[in-house]
Amino acid sequence: MPADNLSTKETDQTETTSLSASSWTCVTCGHTATEEFCAHCGEKHHEGHNFSMGHVLAEAAEAFFHIDSKIFLSLRTLIRRPGRLTAEFFMGRRKPYMSPLQLFFVCNLIFFVLQPFTGLEILGPPLRAFENNTFLRRVAQPLVAKKLAQEHIARTDADKMAEFAQRFDRVSHLQAKTLVLLMAPMLASVLALFYLGSRHFFTEHLIFALHGYAWWLLWLLLVLVSISLLFVTMRATGHPFSLGVLDEAATLLEFGGFAAYLGLGMKEFYRGGVTATVARAVPLALATYFIFHLYRLVLLFTILFAV
């Protein structure tokens, strides 16, 4: 037998032996893997079971900081580059970022944890806000009156009305934490109409809307903090102020800022011209305002059902 053939066979045998020695069977999916992580499911290879406290804490820290880095990168990109996260998602570059739904819920958590400190409520308004709202009072007042009649509560009974309002407000705050998500598919439906015939899937509009509302929750929190500080400052200095003017200014900031962000995001993700983007951004701003009131209407029905 030629020496070179013998050498090749020995080399192949050595490589096979080495491969079998380094390969391992994934305990999660049962596939054979040769690297540190399973190529099929991503499970990590553990050569031994180390249950020491130091090892467990080290793994926990590694997992935390990995997630933590994703959060900060996702939030930074969301704030600084409107539309970029959506573009990255559909380009398939998803590993460095949180998923759109995860990011939305992180922003949602930030908002509802910090919002009570402002003393202002907008996403989960109290009973008096529903009954005095310009858009909703014609619907809210009869529905509330019907609910009060079912529970045999007279408006002249101050104690029972206070107890009912307290229950209503508590349920409103709780329901708002999840129902706020409903605004994303509503906005996605509007975007689908605006880009009708552009061959964009509804999923693309939905992901864009999720990122948009994730940003809006942070923006809304900033607006509420600013108004709260302004309110406290004006009261402390004894300057007169109008709650109506303050409310109008807040509304303009909330939805004007959202319109600007969505316009920049559409320019980045949908790749339209400046004129076409502005032409869509203006009516989209009005759409987000009415979507907000539609969300409040849905919230009202769920509160009266659950209270």
Is the pLDDT score of 168 beyond 60? yes
Rama region for 197: left / alpha / beta (φ>0; ψ in -120 to 50; rest) = left
Is residue 283, in this structure, part of any structural domain at all?
A: yes
Is the pLDDT score of 56 beyond 70? no
| 192 and 258 belong to one structural domain | yes
What is the count of structural domains for the chain? Answer: 2
Q: Encode pLDDT of 262-283 as tens digits.
A: 999 999 999 878 888 888 888 9
**What gap in Å lies between CA 57 and CA 3, rounded to an integer?**
55
Range of the domain at 32: 22-51
Q: Encode pLDDT of 214-223 as tens digits.
A: 999 999 999 9
Q: How crowded is residue 98: how many other Cβ atoms within 10 Å of its Cβ? A: 20
Is residue 57, in this structure, part of any structural domain at all?
A: no
The torsion angle over the Cα atoms of residues 53, 55, 57 and 60, rounded to 10 degrees, is -140
Q: How confident is the model at residue 243 (pLDDT cuts 50, 70, 90)?
A: low
| 43 and 147 belong to one structural domain | no
pLDDT at 282 (0 to 100): 85
| 33 and 143 belong to one structural domain | no
| 145 and 225 belong to one structural domain | yes
> Do residues 108 and 180 touch, judged by C-beta distance below 8 A?
yes
Last residue within a domain, chosen from 11, 32, 51: 51
- Mean per-residue pLDDT for 29-46? 75
Is the pLDDT score of 257 beyond 80? yes
* Prediction pTM value: 0.77
Is residue 74, in this structure, part of any structural domain at all?
A: no
| 40 and 147 belong to one structural domain | no
| 30 and 113 belong to one structural domain | no
User: Dihedrals φ, ψ of 44, to 5°?
Assistant: -85, 145
| 112 and 32 belong to one structural domain | no
| 106 and 206 belong to one structural domain | yes
- C-alpha 25: how far from chain center: 38
Q: How confident is the model at residue 233 (pLDDT cuts 50, 70, 90)?
A: confident
* Residues belonging to the chain: 307
**What gap in Å lies between CA 85 and CA 98, rounded to an integer?**
10
> Do residues 175 and 124 touch, judged by C-beta distance below 8 A?
yes
Question: Token pair of 247, please?
Answer: 């409310």
Q: Choose among 245, 298, 249: nearest CA to 123.
A: 298
| 43 and 153 belong to one structural domain | no
Query: Taking all residues of the chain, what is their mean pLDDT, rounded to a whole number?
Result: 84
Q: 215: which residues sit within 8 A by CB, 6+ positions away? A: 78, 79, 82, 107, 261
